[in-house]
Amino acid sequence: MTRFGLVAIVLGVLMAPAAGRAESATTIPQSALIEPADLAAAIGAGKAPVILQVGFRTLYDQSHIPDAIYAGPTSNDEGIEALRKQAKALPKDKPLVIYCGCCPWTKCPNVASAWKELSAEGFSQLRVLYLENNFGADWVDKGYPATHGS
């Protein structure tokens, strides 16, 4: 297991049942998801959307998608407010991808609430990066583009 995987598991276990806004990622419609290979291909073709990382700072600092903007975890009201502030500067009619990757998809405390908020704000081309296990296993370990360190 990679160091990233261990950090992701620990954070996932600690944060998965977070109170407040945490909802299951399984509530996000399949049509709103984007697979890692598809996002990596878009990035490689020079057609990268705006990407927001809606997970924990520790994970972002360890590794993230190049040019991803850190928006922070959205499992509570404070996190949702930070996301709103970050989103105000973004065009609502352009492609936008959000991801967390802190833990297995079914336990992620952040992506569903972020998707729900941004959908309500009117982002018409919003997609969620589907990371079945975590960012390390489903992105970094597959050799997709990643920036290490903040």
Residues 120-133 have pLDDT tens digits of 999 999 999 999 99
* H-type alpha helices, 28-140: 36-44, 57-62, 77-87, 111-120, 135
Whether residue 19 is predicted with pLDDT greater than 50 in this model: the reply is: no
What residue ranges define each of the domains in the chain, with the CATH number in brackets? 3-148 (3.40.250.10)
Evaluate the CA torsion angle 136, 138, 144, 145 in order and state its sign. Answer: negative
Is a pLDDT exceeding 70 seen at residue 101?
A: yes
H or E stretch covering 63: strand 63-64
pLDDT band at 11 (very low <50, low <70, confident <90, very high): very low
**pLDDT at site 5:** 52
- For residue 113, what pLDDT is reported? 97
Inter-CA distances, 66 with 50, 104, 109, 114, Å: 11, 22, 23, 20
Q: pTM score, two decimals? A: 0.85
In single-letter form, the type of residue at position 86 comes to Q
Whole-number pLDDT of residue 146: 97
**What does the alpha-carbon distance between residue 115 and residue 54 come to, in Å, rounded to a whole number?**
10
